[in-house]
Structure 1
Amino acid sequence: MASASRSRPERYFPITRLSGVSDLALRWLGGERWDEATPRRASTVMLVRDGERGPEVFMLKRVSGMAFAPSMHVFPGGGVDARDGEAGLPWAGPSPAEWAERLGCTPSEAQMYVAAAVREVFEEVGVLLASPSATGPLVDPHDETWAGIRERLVTRELSLAEVLVERALVLRSDLIVAKAHWLTPVFEPRRFDTWFFAAVMPEHQVADGNTSEAEIAEWVVPEDLLKEYAAELASLLPPTLVWVEEVGSATSAADFVTHSEDLALVMPDIVDTPDGPAMRIDA
C-alpha cells in the first residue's frame, strides 16, 4: 500500500514568513547559542476528503496567543500521552510490531505515535477512527452519550485505552498511514519529534474543530490556501506548507492516503542565502 515518494530538491523558506520564529532563528544564525530543548513526541493527522476541485484537507488556524506556531494554519495534532503506548489498548489492523518496522522504532513507541494520532484527531476535530470490530463501520461519536469525553481526554482525566475499553471499541490502525517524520530545529525553545499521518475522512462522522486552540477550523482547498500563503495572507510552517502542496497534487483522497516509502527524519536548519536568512531542508 506504499506510494512512491517524489524526490524533492533542497528547499528554502524565508525567515520573514515565520512569525514567532524569526528572532530566535536570526540570533542562532548570528552565533548565539543556548541549551537545546528536548524534543517532545507528537503526532499530527492530515484528514482528507474529495471535493469538487480535488482533495481537501481539514485544518485549524491556531489562536494568536499560542506559545508555539501562533496564528498559523496547522493540521490537527499534539503531544503523545505515555499511556498511548501501554499494553492492552484495544487494537485492530496492522500491529504495533508492523508499525514499528515501518517507523523504525520499538513497537511500544509505534503504538504511542499511532494511538496519539487517533486520539488527537478525536480531541481536536471530533473524528474517531475506531469501531466495534476490526472490519465493521466506525462509531458515531456525536450523540449525547459522548458528551464530555473529548474534554476528559484533553485534560488527561481519561486515556484513549480507557475510552475504547469502556465503549467496546478497537482502534483502527488500518485507516491511517504514515507520510513523514519531522523534527523542530535546534534553536526552538519548544521542539517536537513529529510523525505526520493521513486518513480519509470517515463517512457519517463530522469534523467540527471544537478546540480552544483554534480560532478557525475548516476544510481547505490546497490551491486556495497556497494562494493566500503566496500573498502573505496565511502563515504556514515548512512541513505544513510541504504537505498542503502534496495534498493539492494528489488526484484523490484515496490517492493521497497511502504510506510514503521515504520516511527519513527531516530537520530544517537556519542558513544565510543571497535573498536573506531562511530555513533549509535537504533533498
Structure 2
Amino acid sequence: MPNSSSTPAGFRPAGKRLFPLNPDQREAALAWVEFGEHTPRKPRQASSVVLLKDSPGGLQTFMTYRSGGSPLGPVAFPGGTVEAADDDVTDWAGPAPAAWAKNLGTADIGLAKRHVVAAIRELFEETGILLAGPDASSLVEGNSGPEWMRARVSIASQENTFASVLKRYGLVLRTDLLKSLSHWTSPDFAHRRFDTRYFAAANPVNQEASLLENKGLWGRWVTAAEVLKDRHNSALGDEINLPATRGVVLGELLVPSVEIILEKIAAARGCIAYLNHTRAINEYQPKLVAGAGSTFSLEVATAPLSEGAPCRER
C-alpha cells in the first residue's frame, strides 16, 4: 500500500493510500481505539474553496494556517462551517440551487444552496476575494480598502450577515464562478468532524487576497508542485513559525483531502484546464488504521485522476 510520503508531486495513484495523523488527531485516535469510543460525533456541514491562479512555476493556490484543531487541517484552503444565515442570500447568478443540488449529488436543494453561499462567504471572510458583482456579468473591483476589511470583520464576528453586506452594496452572488471538486467527511474518531464540500475558483482580476485583520496568522499563495516537493521536511511549518508548526513535516500539517487536491493542482496544465476538467464528485472518508506501538495512519481509497491552457485571472 503506497504511502503519501512516497508519492511524487503531481501524481495520485489508484488504490488505497496511507496518510500520517496530524498531532491534533492523535489523542482522539487513542481514545477511539483504547477506550472504545465508537460512536461518531455528528459532522457539521462545511465548504472550502481552492482559489487558483497561474504562475511561471506552475498553478498556485492560496493557503492559510488554521488554529484550534480545525477538521480542515492546520494548513488548508479557505473554508468553514455552513451557517443558518446563509439561507438569507437571495440575489443569485449562475446555476440555480436545484442545479447545484444535482451537481453536488444531494436531493436537499436548501443544503446545496447553503454550501455554495458558505463557500463564497468563507472565501470573502478569510481572503477578501468576493465572487459577487453588481450584475450577473461583472465582479467587484478593488477589495483591499479598510471599508471592505470592516465588512469582512463584521461577518466573521457575526455582527452582520453576509446577505446584509451583499444587499448594502447591491451585489449579486456569482455562483457561476465556482466549480465543485469533491466531498469529504472527517474520520469517525475525530472530536470535531466536518462534512465538507470542496469548490474551486479562479482568482478574479482586480482583487487581491489578504488575511483577515487581527485573526489571520499566516497565509499566502503557494505553488502546489513546490510545496509538495518539501513534504518530507518541515520547511513550511518552520516558515509559519508557530509552536504547533515548527519542526512539523508537511504531511502532518495537511489532512488527506488537502494533500490530494494539491497533487491534482500540481498535475494540472493550468487553471482553465483544471476548472474545465470533467470530474465525478467523489465521496471520501479516511479510515483509521492502527499500527505497532500506538501509531496510527489514515487510509483513503483513491482512484486515478488526470487534471487537465494556462488560466487568465477573471
User: What TM-score results when the alignment is normalised by the length of structure 1?
Assistant: 0.88
Whole-Å Cα distance in 1 between the matches of residues 160 and 278 of structure 2? 32
**Pairwise CA distance, 1:260:** 5.2
Whole-Å Cα distance in 2 between the matches of residues 254 and 116 of structure 1? 23
Relative to structure 1, is the Cα distance of residues 140 and 36 closer, same or farther in structure 2, using a 3 angstrom cutoff?
same
Amino acid at match of 1:174: D
Whether the 8 Å contact between 2:143 and 2:208 is mirrored in structure 1 is: no
Residue among 72, 84, 87 paired with 1:85: 87
Q: Map 1:8-157 to 2 at 5 A.
A: 8-15=14-21, 18-30=22-34, 32-63=36-67, 66-68=68-70, 72-86=74-88, 89-105=90-106, 106-157=108-159
Whether the 8 Å contact between 2:71 and 2:194 is mirrored in structure 1 is: no
Whole-Å Cα distance in 1 between the matches of residues 179 and 64 of structure 2? 20
Q: Map 1:158-197 to 2 at 5 A.
A: 158-197=160-199
SS at match of 2:54: strand
Equivalences, count: 273
Whole-Å Cα distance in 2 between the matches of residues 271 and 207 of structure 1? 38
Amino acid at match of 1:13: F
SS at match of 1:112: helix
Q: Output one character per residue of 1:227-278: Cα deviation in whole Å (capped at 9) or x when no partner.
A: 2222243321111111111111111111122365321321111123689531
Q: Output one character per residue of 1:48-98: Cα deviation in whole Å (capped at 9) or x when no partner.
A: 1001111000001234xx243698211011111112124x52100111111
**Pairwise CA distance, 1:213:** 4.9
Amino acid at match of 2:102: E
**Identical aligned residues as a percent:** 32
Whole-Å Cα distance in 1 between the matches of residues 154 and 93 of structure 2? 24
Q: Map 1:130-279 to 2 at 5 A.
A: 130-210=132-212, 212-232=214-234, 233-234=249-250, 235-258=253-276, 261-272=279-290, 277-279=296-298
Ranges in structure 2 where 5+ consecutive residues have no aligned partner: 1-11, 235-248, 303-314
Relative to structure 1, is the Cα distance of residues 264 and 108 closer, same or farther in structure 2, using a 3 angstrom cutoff?
same
Whole-Å Cα distance in 1 between the matches of residues 28 and 229 of structure 2? 27
Whole-Å Cα distance in 2 between the matches of residues 253 and 70 of structure 1? 23
Relative to structure 1, is the Cα distance of residues 211 and 268 closer, same or farther in structure 2, using a 3 angstrom cutoff?
farther
Q: Output one character per residue of 1:99-121: Cα deviation in whole Å (capped at 9) or x when no partner.
A: 01111222211110011000001
Amino acid at match of 2:288: I
Relative to structure 1, is the Cα distance of residues 196 and 259 closer, same or farther in structure 2, using a 3 angstrom cutoff?
farther
**Pairwise CA distance, 1:40:** 0.6
SS at match of 2:158: coil
Whole-Å Cα distance in 1 between the matches of residues 72 and 94 of structure 2? 36
Whether the 8 Å contact between 1:13 and 1:280 is mirrored in structure 2 is: yes
Relative to structure 1, is the Cα distance of residues 213 and 185 closer, same or farther in structure 2, using a 3 angstrom cutoff?
farther
| RMSD over aligned Cα atoms | 2.3
Whole-Å Cα distance in 1 between the matches of residues 229 and 173 of structure 2? 37
Whether the 8 Å contact between 2:183 and 2:283 is mirrored in structure 1 is: yes
SS at match of 2:125: helix
Whole-Å Cα distance in 1 between the matches of residues 124 and 55 of structure 2? 22
Whole-Å Cα distance in 2 between the matches of residues 80 and 260 of structure 1? 26
Amino acid at match of 1:8: A
Relative to structure 1, is the Cα distance of residues 228 and 107 closer, same or farther in structure 2, using a 3 angstrom cutoff?
same
Name the structure with the higher strand share.
1
Amino acid at match of 1:268: P
Relative to structure 1, is the Cα distance of residues 83 and 258 closer, same or farther in structure 2, using a 3 angstrom cutoff?
farther
Amino acid at match of 1:68: S
Whole-Å Cα distance in 2 between the matches of residues 207 and 260 of structure 1? 27
Whole-Å Cα distance in 1 between the matches of residues 149 and 77 of structure 2? 24
**Corresponding residue of 1:3:** none
Whether the 8 Å contact between 2:71 and 2:186 is mirrored in structure 1 is: no
